[in-house]
Structure 1
Amino acid sequence: MSSWLLEGSGDWLDDRALSHGMGVFETLLVVEGSIVDAPSHRQRMEDGCERMGLRCPDWRVVAEAIQQHSAEFEDGMLRGRVMRSAGEGGLASDHGENEKTVLTLVPWTEGPRRLKVATAPWARDERSPLAGVKCTSYAENLMALRMAAGQGDLDELLFANSKGDWCEGTTSNGFAVIGGELVTPSLDSGCLPGTMRSKVLRWASELGIPCRERRIPMQELGEASEIFLTSAIRGVVPVVEFDQKPWPEGEVCRGLQGRWRRLVGLDRS
């Protein structure tokens, strides 16, 4: 992994991103030096910084740095991460001092093409001030991934919110086909407003696939004919096992997965 400090200086010992998890980040798919869906990532980082009281980095500087440093890699596809810290300051500081913007790049590696998942034993709090923010306070997600790995060959856990409605995956948004309709948890479920989630909603509309955002009780999710997860890095990936039960890989997911793979150059057909 290679990293670059784009803004700020000094050590991290007193930075609130390290000591208190006060920061936001974006995970990016970079193809031939360009960020896939850059406007959506920029807007989400701006929204997250505003929610957390941080100054948003200059996205032009970020894009230029990514283009410059991508040339140092042989791989045409990279996984990028842009993090904005709250800097140094007291617990109640509005704006910190010496806020930092950090870029990291690594070669992109394709994850599993099919997913095995289970229901998480704890819930997301849709009333949290961090609901929908891609925050550096990420320990809960890492603990969920560790728990999934500890349960055999699971890839992710699926979270309900405090109302018992499906919220999201550990590192993903989710979609399901229920009663012939493609559905995804609405943003008031507490889920992250994923950039790939937005693409799938737009593609479904363009393809004439009945689709809407709505409340999805976990019990109803168990009646779905298809379930798939989405993220900026992995695209569209079908769930083939849910709570130890085999799940069918369906045509809706296959069509959307193919569209994503063509978009990023993985399939040329």
Structure 2
Amino acid sequence: MTAKIIWMDGELVDRDAATVHVTSYGLHYGIGFFEGLRCHPTPEGPAVFRLTDHLVRLRRSAAVYGIPLPYPVEEMARACRAVVSANGLTECYLRPIVFLGDGPDPLSAPYRAAIVASEDGPLIGPPKTDGARAMISGLRRMSADSIPPAAKATGQYLNSFLAQSEALRAGYDEAILLNAAGFVTDGWAHNLFALAGGELRTPPVSAGALPGITRDSVMTLAREDGLPVSERDLVRTDLYLADECFLTGTAAGVVPVVSVDGRPVGAGTPGPVTARLAAALADVASGTSGAHPEWRETVS
């Protein structure tokens, strides 16, 4: 459920007043950039996980398209905290978005910004409590010479939406996309990891994967746990033959993948390394472990 107070264009407003005109270019052409963040209850109070890192990525996504953010990172960070506080929340999902507004033409129209809080994440499909059944999508991830996949931009998520819709219609839980060369990029809205031979492997950003904040967190925690981690090209058979496989993302956290294209991954159940990393991530985000306090940015 969306919270009642939204930050929009520099001020907190009631949800019903946070409106966008139908002539906005962001609506017509998918011109915009966004982030997804989680706020968790911690011993120090509500804290947004890696708030500044997410907003720096928002700025970088806009920069890929040659667009400066209409507000500095520090101001948007204060706005995220204000939205959590104004709604009296201790745990929520935050969606900052910057999009092209209305005007005489796209080059002169202003960029607008909003931050929305909700108690649920933007999941497509039911939660995967016992692990996800994934399929390799017949749609390829867009190539870097068409739309830059390293940016988290609104319009390019049509590629992901089509792939996930295909997977759901086929009776699967999650879509996994390949690039034009046949290498694995990521899930429809998640990064992907495969465990094989005692090494945790994930596709490199150069393959088309988004530089995920949760991805980076899991890689750091895995190395601290003594697990070798590599960024390397993967093909579909690497997933079929993996000992474990999982997806990562802000909204979903760590999602075990128990099968790919109907083939069981490992024992066909969530694996112990996946469970250990999921627990480590949850402990850091909630402040339970005390590790990485720099990743928890308190609301007040």
Conserved in 1, the CA contact under 8 Å of 2:200 and 2:230? yes
Given the two structures, how large is their TM-score scaled by the length of structure 2?
A: 0.80
- Alpha-carbon separation, structure 2, partners of 1:240 and 1:129: 31
CA RMSD of aligned residues (A): 2.5
Structure 2 residue 149 is matched with structure 1 residue 136: no
Deviation by residue 1:108-165 (Cα, 9 ceiling, x = unmatched): 369323212111011113323321111111222222222222222x221000100100
1:27 matched to which residue of 2? 36
Partner of 2:62: 49
Residue equivalent to 2:133:
116
- Residue 203 (structure 1) aligned with residue 216 (structure 2): no
Whether 2:110 is the aligned partner of 1:98: answer yes
User: In the superposition, relative to structure 1, how do residues 20 and 204 fare at CA in structure 2: closer, same or farther (>3 Å)?
Assistant: same
TM-superposition CA deviations, 1:21-80 (whole Å, max 9, x none): 111100111225432111320221111010112221322222222222223446521011
Q: What TM-score comes out, normalization by structure 1 length?
A: 0.89
Structure 1 gaps, min length 5? none
Report the counterpart of residue 5 of structure 1 in structure 2: 8
Paired residues of 1:126 and 1:189 also in contact (CA < 8 A):
no
- Deviations along 1:162-203, one digit per CA (max 9) or x if unpaired, are 010000000100000122211000010011110011111111
Which runs of 5 or more residues in structure 2 are unaligned? 12-17, 290-300
Q: Distance in 2 between matches of 1:75 and 1:119?
A: 38
**AA paired with 1:39?**
T
What is the rounded CA distance, in whole Å, between the counterparts of 1:167 and 1:89 in structure 2?
Answer: 37
1:40 is the counterpart of 2:49: no
Task: Compare 211-220 and 159-168 and name the one that shifted more.
Answer: 211-220
- C-alpha distance in structure 2 between counterparts of 1:246 and 1:130, whole Å: 33
Of 96, 116, 132, which residue of structure 2 is paired with 1:82? 96
Give the structure 1 partner of residue 282 of structure 2: 261
User: What is the match of residue 151 of structure 1?
Assistant: 170
Provide the residue aligned with 1:221 in structure 2. 239
Q: Distance in 2 between matches of 1:266 and 1:75?
A: 17
Take 2:63 and 2:21, find their aligned partners in 1: how far apart are those partners? Answer: 22
2:72 to 47, 55, 58: 58
Structure 1 vs Structure 2: percent identity of aligned residues? 25
1:15 counterpart (15, 20, 24): 24
Q: Matches of 1:91 and 1:206 in 2, distance apart? A: 51
| SS of structure 1 residue aligned to 2:281 | helix
**Which one is further off, 220-229 or 105-114?**
105-114
1:229 Cα offset (Å): 0.3
- Separation in 1 of the partners of 2:10 and 2:217? 31
Indicate conservation of the 8 Å contact 1:173/1:192, yes or no. Answer: yes
Judge conservation of contact 1:6–1:103 (CA < 8 Å) in 2: no
Change (3 A) 1:124 1:263: same
Contact 1:35 1:63 in 2 (8 A): no
Is 2:125 the partner of 1:125? Answer: no
Partner residue of 2:181 out of 163, 166, 186: 163
Secondary structure of the 1:264 match is helix
In the alignment, the residues of structure 1 paired with residue 66 and residue 10 of structure 2 have an alpha-carbon distance, to the nearest angstrom, of 17
**Aligned-pair distance for 1:10?**
7.9
Q: Which has the higher contact order (CA 8 A, sep 6+)?
A: 2
Question: In structure 2, what residue type is equivalent to 1:245?
Answer: R
